[in-house]
Chain A
Amino acid sequence: MLAKRIIPCLDIKDGKTVKGVNFVDLRDAGDPVELAVEYSKNRADELVFLDITATHEKRKTLADLVRKIAQHINIPFTVGGGITSVEDVETLLQNGADKIAVNSAAVKNPELIHQLAKQFGSQCVVLAVDAKKIENGWKVHLNGGRIATHIDLFEWCKKATSLGAGEILFTSMDHDGTKNGFANEALAQISTMVNIPVIASGGAGNMQHFADVFTIGKADAALAASVFHFGEIKIPELKNFLHQKQIPVRF
């Protein structure tokens, strides 16, 4: 039985972790490499790094950072944020990323998914999608949720899958930051519709939320940031909890 995955997400800006991170025993709480090592030791199954650096110039630091992370951790990691081309992806993979996540650029140019899948294989192409429920359904949003589109979430997931995406990372903007649980209904719909793994994001507040997202939401993996960064939920405890609920996890 495949284990359900727990994935901490780190936001990176200019090579540093942003958003509060509250880890004890770390020299520099902002150092993504140290955080990554800590999470890797504490049984995170994978890691996601989202680069929110705005300028192209500073993106070179990302490749350096990816290389350092790859030297120090022995679990898979995904890098996303501002990826627009095959060349971007090539650089990140060469430096040791296992998967890359594309978001806005794929909406603007869906062919990118196909190109990436063809060149590097579906297994390393994660479609990240931010969406929000508006009167007549879930709509995809771009640029970190700032720009609304008319694109239907489910249609987009289906299309991206057929273009070769290997995994979907769905963030519900309605749930993100609320700590009231994941968007289980929409997640279950995506998960039953596509035949690739789905990572749930947005809304984690307690351990029961994780149990729910794997059972009700039918997610294959769950991603969270602050509950892990602030130590509100410790991954080893979360895994024990899920194990007791008969949800398969990796110890």
Chain B
Amino acid sequence: MITIIDYECGNLGSIQNMIKKIGGASRISSNPEEIANAKKLILPGVGAFDTGIKNLHDKGIWDILNKKVLHEKIPILGICLGMQLMTKSSQEGVLSGLSWIDAETCKFSFEYADKKRKIPNMGWNFIQLKKESVLFLNMYENPRFYFVHSYFVRCYNNQDVLAIAEYGFNYHCAFEKENIFGVQFHPEKSHKYGMKLFENFIAL
């Protein structure tokens, strides 16, 4: 059973639909007790950094999350904003992130770039794996994922970088540190590639 954390940021139904389709079980919850008993977590999210952080505090799940992830070390997958919340801070806001990963969330800027790119980065893009990962076990060749984001994660510890994508420059589109996984793209919208990723997460 995977617990999908509902902190009022984003569309959780599509994640649940995809997990159901591949035969997994999940529940959507904002209940601190349910989260405290979870065996595996997904932190989804679409929206603003500070709103996300604030909602985690307001719903009383901030401390529980820290305990589950840092002490019990249960697997957690952050998606899009969920990934960004795991970093220390974001140029989008002023609040402190969960700080599980030594990383910062930055705004795309092409002011000084030769080639201007559009913001948000929206659409399907290749990714390049930087290390082996259980999440990408038996992944189809040349995986493409669906991205929608204006901010990206910059990891300060190279060992944490799981994959990079190119958008004007190479940036870190996935990280993995022990039990903590984060992906900038939306596996729940990424067709068979996303399905495979969820299959691997379920099998953990």
Contacts and interface: CB of A to CB of B under 8 A. Distances in A.
A93 interface: yes
A197 B123 contact: yes
B191 A3 contact: no
Interface string A87-130: 00000010110100000000000000000000011111000000
B13 interface: yes
A121 B123 contact: no
A76 B146 contact: yes
Contacts of A250: 124, 144
Contact of A74 (B121, B125, B166, B191): B191
Nearest to B17: A71
Given A2-B125, A166-B122, 13 more contacts: A67-B13, A70-B14, A71-B17, A72-B17, A74-B190, A74-B191, A75-B190, A96-B13, A96-B14, A123-B150, A196-B120, A197-B118, A251-B142
B195 interface: yes
Interface in B138-174: 142, 144, 146-150, 166-167
B70 interface: no
Contacts of A93: 11
A2 B13 contact: no
B146 A75 contact: yes
Contacts of A120: 47
Chief secondary structure at chain A's binding surface: loop
B46 A123 contact: yes
A167 B189 CA distance: 18
B11 A98 contact: yes
A72 B150 CA distance: 28
B120 A70 contact: no
Given A75-B191, A96-B11, A121-B47, A2 B124 contact: yes
Interface residues on B, range: 35 or more
Interface in A1-39: 1-5
Contacts of A70: 13-14, 17
Interface of B: 11, 13-14, 17-18, 21, 46-48, 116, 118-126, 142, 144, 146-150, 166-167, 186, 188-191, 194-195
A84 interface: no
B14 A3 contact: no
A124 B189 CA distance: 14
Contacts of A76: 146, 148, 186, 189
Contacts of B116: 195
Interface residues of A, number: 32
Contacts of B11: 93, 96, 98
B188 A74 contact: yes
Given A1-B125, A121-B47, A122-B150, A195 B119 contact: yes
A221 interface: yes
Interface string A30-72: 0000000000100001000000000000000000000100111
A248 to B, nearest CB: 9
Specify which of A3, A4, A40, A95 lies most central, judged by the most chain B CB atoms within 10 Å of its CB.
A3
B125 A167 contact: no
A197 B122 contact: yes
